[in-house]
Chain A
Amino acid sequence: MSALLEAEGLTRIYGGPEGRVALADVSLEMAAGEMVGLAGPSGSGKTTLITLLGGLEPPTSGRATLDGEDVAALSAPGQARKRASLIGLVFQTHNLLAALDAEENVALAVETAFGKKSDPGGRAREALAALGLESRRHQRPGELSLGEQQRVAVARAIAMRPKLLLADEPTASLDWESAAGVLDALSALASRGCAVMIATHDERCLRRVQRTITLRDGRIQAERSALPNP
């Protein structure tokens, strides 16, 4: 299987050359449709790796490419739309706009990336329906449970039809039933060819991925296949 995402020697140092090394010489590959877990204790570099792979900031050194395109180039402010069309991001929480309802939250992202002619409303309704949120689409985030909010965030990522989806602790604030719903949605996205990376502490999540990369002190400590189900 050819690699969709390739990272080589990714390093991120905060505070200049003598500063704190958040990520050191990380290399990895991900294929289209692959679901990868990112494990490790707090401060091990999981979020920093997500940040670099998501093109939200450039690495201090090293390089990552997505489908042959340099991800660092997507860090430039003017590349925000293109980045959003290629890479979906799901955060732990607080990732919806409070003033907009669920459908508008999803549609705004689609419109931002693809324009008004891309039928943002239709794609939003389709994505929300896929996550069982059709009846909740006119609710604002404050009227949704945490699990529903997270599913809306996933729906937003799905509606973008990204090549790579990066999720940072997407189930950390959810009960297991809600978390399972979110993971089901991410699995469905992966089955449609999207590479999905999930940074998590939750072993139940890691049992749902095909491969787990463990970070410690900014370096890859281990890489293993999926954990067996208990």
Chain B
Amino acid sequence: MPSLTRVAVRNVLSTPRRALITSGAVIVGCTAIVFMVGMNLGFAEMEVSNAVGLMLGHVQVDSARGARTVPAGPVLAAAAEVAEVAGAAPRLEIPALAGAPGQARGAMLLGVDAEREASTSLFPRLVVDGKLPGANDGDAVALGAPLAEQLHVKVGDQVPIGFLTLSDDLGRARLRVVGLVRSGSEDLDPRLALVSIATARRLYESPPDGTGKVVIKARANAETDAAAGALRGRLDPGVYRVRTWREVSPFLRGLVSFQYGSVNVVLVILYVIVGLSVAAVQVIGILQRTREFGVLSAIGFTPSRVLRLVALETLLVGTVAVGIGLVLGVAVTALVNRLGGIDVRWAGAENLEGMIGVDPYLRPLVSRYGLAMAAGLVAPILGLGGVLPALRAARMIAMDVLRY
């Protein structure tokens, strides 16, 4: 004699088409939710990565008291101890004028450590001609390509630079152009003049270890807060100020938050579509069984026992289908990620050409949040979509069976 569970299993197995249709809706729904949540997270990740990759960094350390320079050594030593930190680079930013008198252009003389920038920022990737000034390239400079054009200089030429020193004196120097760089930013490229951090210190007359700020790259965007927290714990708060990119750039934080929320609106629409689809398939499937529930009722099944039967069947189909849907969602998300992501230029983001360092590939991310959203949304809808019509059917239709 079949127990209720065995009857439920028989019902599922004997109606494979019905089980497949219900499972199909659940699998497609779960897969879509896991993937789309992954896309949203990947989008936010891409946006942050693109924004912090060059100038901003995940974390910045500068003076707590507003001093123009602070010792870089303790910051670099602390960063080396923090596991969440992928790279740290000192920078010294000096207001300057580049070019001969009468032709001078406003410039930003930026002292960088080319070796450290390789693991911290995208600066090394900006070089379109020549190289970045190295530690031993005394009076070398790499100019933004538009700035070089305005000054009519090329690699190998000399360019006069005027600047303010730490003591607010006017300084002058002739620097040799060793490279041209282009970030794609119309704001940055026409004023960018990169020198080695040692040259910047010398010109600025800063202490030998002085730096305006140290830019930190975290191992991952998600580890930004952990990296910042660990650095705060290691640095004297009376000397150093540690800020994440969100604190340094509230505008960017707001932009990321706005776009994340906007995509979430699309996700909510997806949730509704998936929810309605799953509910519709389940409700139709149950309503088609009105006669069956009537027979069960007529042979003595109480409404609660009919409900238990439907709940068992839903549990069987739902567990398998949700499981497959989640696995498929993870697999599709991971596959797209592994294949390099989706080129958003294909989807209309055409103006990324020439934006060096801006990654045009959207890589969806597998997340527990996505899995929880998929299972947490689909499972209850599947349950309610089965149980509610079954309850109605079990209460109403024993007599209807007699009428046919």
Contacts and interface: CB of A to CB of B under 8 A. Distances in A.
Interface string B13-40: 1110000000000000000000000000
Q: Which of A56, A78, A94, A113 has the most CB of B within 10 A?
A: A56
B299 A168 contact: no
A97 B300 CA distance: 14
Contacts of A216: none
A50 interface: yes
B399 A99 contact: no
A10 interface: no
Given A99-B7, A100-B10, A107-B1, A56 B399 contact: yes
A89 B298 CA distance: 7
B301 interface: yes
30 contacts: A54-B402, A57-B398, A77-B302, A77-B304, A78-B302, A80-B301, A81-B300, A81-B302, A83-B300, A84-B299, A85-B300, A89-B298, A92-B404, A94-B404, A97-B295, A97-B296, A99-B13, A100-B2, A100-B7, A100-B10, A104-B2, A108-B2, A109-B299, A112-B300, A112-B301, A113-B300, A116-B1, A120-B1, A156-B299, A168-B402
Contacts of A92: 404
A96 B295 CA distance: 7
Interface of B: 1-2, 7, 10-11, 13-15, 291-292, 295-305, 394-395, 398-399, 401-404
A121 interface: yes
A112 B304 CA distance: 13
Interface in A29-61: 47, 50-51, 54, 56-57
B399 A109 contact: no
A121 B7 contact: no
Nearest to A153: B295
Given A95-B401, A100-B2, A140-B14, 13 more contacts: A56-B399, A57-B399, A80-B303, A93-B404, A94-B401, A98-B292, A99-B11, A100-B10, A108-B1, A112-B300, A113-B300, A116-B1, A121-B1
A50 B398 CA distance: 12
B362 to A, nearest CB: 47
A80 B302 contact: yes
A25 interface: no
A194 B368 CA distance: 63
Contacts of B291: 94
Main secondary structure of the interface of A (DSSP, over half): helix
B1 A56 contact: no
Contacts of A94: 291, 295, 401, 404
A67 interface: no
B31 to A, nearest CB: 29
Contacts of A99: 7, 10-11, 13-15
Contacts of A120: 1
Given A57-B399, A94-B291, A108-B7, A77 B303 contact: yes
Interface in A137-183: 140, 156, 168
A77 B402 contact: no
A102 to B, nearest CB: 13
Contacts of A81: 300, 302
B353 to A, nearest CB: 61
Contacts of B402: 47, 50-51, 54, 56, 89, 91, 168
B22 to A, nearest CB: 15
Contacts of B297: 56, 80
Contacts of A70: none
Contacts of A109: 299-300
Q: Which of B7, B295, B299, B394 has the most CB of A within 10 A?
A: B299
Q: Which of A51, A57, A77, A140 has the most CB of B within 10 A?
A: A77
Contacts of B301: 80, 112
Q: Which 3 A-B pairs have the closest CB atoms?
A: A84-B300, A99-B14, A109-B299
Nearest to A89: B298
Contacts of B305: 112
Given A84-B299, A108-B1, A47 B403 contact: yes
Nearest to B305: A112
Contacts of B300: 80-81, 83-85, 109, 112-113
A98 B303 contact: no
Nearest to A124: B1
Q: Which of B295, B300, B394 has the most CB of A within 10 A?
A: B300
A112 B1 CA distance: 11
Contacts of A91: 295, 298, 401-402, 404
B299 to A, nearest CB: 4
A134 interface: no
A121 B1 CA distance: 6
B1 A104 contact: yes
A111 interface: yes
B308 to A, nearest CB: 12
B254 to A, nearest CB: 57
Given A51-B399, A57-B399, A95 B1 contact: no
Given A92-B404, A99-B14, A112 B399 contact: no
